[in-house]
Structure 1
Amino acid sequence: MASGGWCWLRGLWAAGQPLFQGRALLVTNTLGCGTLMAAGDGARQSWEIRARPGQKFDTRRSASMFAVGCSMGPFLHYWYLWLDRLLPASGFRGLPNVLGKVLVDQLVASPMLGVWYFLGLGCLEGQTLGESCRELRDKFWELYKADWCVWPVAQLVNFLFVPPQFRVTYINGLTLGWDTYLSYLKYRIPGPPAPPGCVALGTVQTELPHTATTCQPGQD
């Protein structure tokens, strides 16, 4: 049984290898990014549907996530090729260059992809550029701080141990959870606004009650 399972895995590996070679690699990376981003949104929507009775699955929302993910695939494909040429490294002997790759990735690619995400989805969903920019301003730093908590370690492993042709696929494999977070950040419902005159520690009446004007004795 074990031998049969091993042969099946070897056959699957052999069948899948052409997807990671030549021009097919670009297609694999592109569709992989789109599929995982849509899957992350699907996972998030499933949670929302359980938490919010009456909400239905929004296929258009997941389709927009798929489109934005596919648009990021070619960028990541060529970005890693460029990083390998800029800072060639092999294993722990090239650790200084590997650390340089991680730093460049965090300082350049991560903020670019964050901007791309919000502006791209805003465009697909009919937001004006001003609306998308306001949302980006409100949520970007929250996204970028979370990015620094997750991706430096993931990219260190990527650049140290993962063969170049599998780097985008490795990232895509990790991004299912990350894409769920991106969907949450984009589509979360803000809390209800405070009633007029309310502050954090109590309620303040900001206007005097309206009363009819009466004339006192002695007044004109």
Structure 2
Amino acid sequence: MELNLIYNPDLFVLDEKYLFNLMTIRRAFSKAYASYRQAMDDAFSRKYLFYTNVLLSTGISTMGDLMEQNYEIHTKEIEKIDLGRTSHMALSGGTAGIICHHWYKVLDRFIIGRSLGEMHTLIMSWRKLTSNVKNWGYLKRVRRVVKVAFTDKYLLYTNVTISVSLSALGDSLEQSYELYVKEQKEYDAKRTLNMAFSGSAVGVLCHYWYKILDKFIVGKTADMVIKKLLLDQLIFSPIMIMTFFGSLALLEDNPLQNFKEEVRDKFLTLYTAEWMVWPPAQVINFYFLPTRYRVLYDNIISLGYDIYSSQVKHNKSLKTMTKQSENGKKSS
């Protein structure tokens, strides 16, 4: 079978108009690409880098929230897009962009170079970073203030200030969550002030309690730690819970009646939570930390517990459940 191939030169002749259009498209594409490169270079230049990072963080946070809300609409968890929630996420993304921008500049200032190399290089870089941080004037002033704050002369005031601040912060976080899930309509500043007052009473008690424990039970052996732990849970935890309810009742109407009701309805809930949270935390506290840092450690650990305490204290359903059970017993 023969295959005849006939070459026709007319088939390979390109029209001039077609060539002109092709060159025009090519030039337009080249100009667009050059403009894009220039815009990218400008956006990531030293002059505009801060604004670029903030816009990127804001935009991606916004896009992420919109994608999540679209998924929730698809699964019928929500009915429509919540633009307020998206704006909050955008604000959070912008804040993160600012922090990340300056953090990476600080890192590149103190640790210069990109070689991963051997472990020795990393160790030397870390030493250089810590050396530069130690020599930073602002940090030196902060260290001096902290050192003075934790001396015996000022330790009581420091512990009370820490307890007040973190109790107020815990309640603020809890109220923010309740506002988000629409359990309450507006922020209650008085409630936060009451929780801060309760934190001051707890701070005073903790300060003297740890001094008493370390005075009468000396040492950090396993036996001593267990003794301190048992005394803390069996004696001090109930006192702390009673102080918490009592200090808040003082700021409410009918203090004595409210105190009795709160203890009856909610004491067991908080005391059970105490046994879940504090035994492992207090082992670290009693074994590793000196007395002056114990209230600080307690308050850091108890930030989450303060949120829970605020939720239990202001949870009306616990009181309602208790009354229903009492009414059921009376009727039976």
How far residue 53 of structure 1 moved from its aligned partner, in angstroms, is 6.8
1:140 maps to 2:270:
no
| CA–CA separation in structure 2 for the residues paired with 1:177 and 1:114 | 16
1:5 aligns with 2:133: yes
Q: Does 1:74 align with 2:199?
A: no
Alignment partner of 1:164 out of 277, 291, 294: 291
In 2: Cα distance, 1:186 partner to 1:78 partner? 25
Check 1:54–1:156 CA distance in 2 against 1; reply closer, same or farther (3 A cut): closer
Structure 1 stretch displaced more, 127-136 or 8-17: 8-17
1:110–1:144 contact (8 Å) kept in structure 2? yes
Alignment of 1:80-95 (within 5 A): 80-90=210-220, 94-95=221-222
- Aligned amino acid, residue 170 of structure 1: Y
**1:41 alignment counterpart:** 171
The Cα shift of 1:10 comes to 5.4
Kept in 1: contact 2:178–2:184 (CA 8 A): no
Distance 1:66 1:52 in 2: 23
Q: Which runs of 5+ in 2 are unaligned?
A: 1-109, 111-128, 322-332
Aligned AA (1:4): N
| Structure-2 separation of matches of 1:88 and 1:25 | 20
Bigger mean CA offset, 124-133 vs 72-81: 124-133
1:115 partnered with 2:245: no
Counterpart-to-counterpart distance in 2, 1:53 and 1:180 = 15
- 8 Å CA contact retained: 1:44, 1:183: yes
Counterpart of 2:191 in structure 1 is 61
8 Å CA contact 1:18–1:24 kept in 2: the answer is yes
What displacement does 1:13 show?
2.4
Q: 238, 245, 253: which one pairs with 1:126?
A: 253
Q: Is the 8 A contact 1:29 1:168 kept in 2?
A: yes
Instruction: Give the distance between the partners of 2:170 and 2:317, measured in 1 at CA.
Output: 21
Q: What CA distance in whole angstroms lies between the structure 2 residues aligned with 1:127 and 1:31?
A: 28
Q: Which deviates the most, 127-136 or 110-119? A: 127-136
Q: Which runs of 4+ in 1 moved over 3 A?
A: 6-11
Q: What's the CA shift for 1:109?
A: 0.7
Q: Check conservation: 1:119, 1:133, Cα contact below 8 A.
A: no
Larger relative contact order (Cα-Cα within 8 Å, sequence gap ≥ 6):
1
Is residue 42–residue 62 contact of structure 1 (8 Å, CA) maintained in 2? yes
Code of the residue aligned with 1:13 in structure 2: it is R
* Structure with more of its chain in helix, by fraction: 2
Aligned to 1:26: 156
- What is residue 11 of structure 2 aligned with on the other side? none
CA contact (8 A) 1:114 1:140 kept: yes
- Normalised to the residue count of structure 1, the TM-score between the two structures is 0.81
The alpha-carbon deviation at position 176 of structure 1 amounts to: 0.9
CA shift, 1:6, in A, is: 4.0
How does 1:91-106 map onto structure 2 within 5 Å? 94-106=221-233
Counterpart of 2:304 (choices 168, 177, 189) is 177
AA aligned opposite 1:37: S
Larger radius of gyration: 2
Does the CA contact (< 8 Å) of 1:102 and 1:156 recur in 2? yes
Identity of aligned residues (%): 35
Shift of 1:175: 1.2
TM-score w.r.t. length of structure 2: 0.54
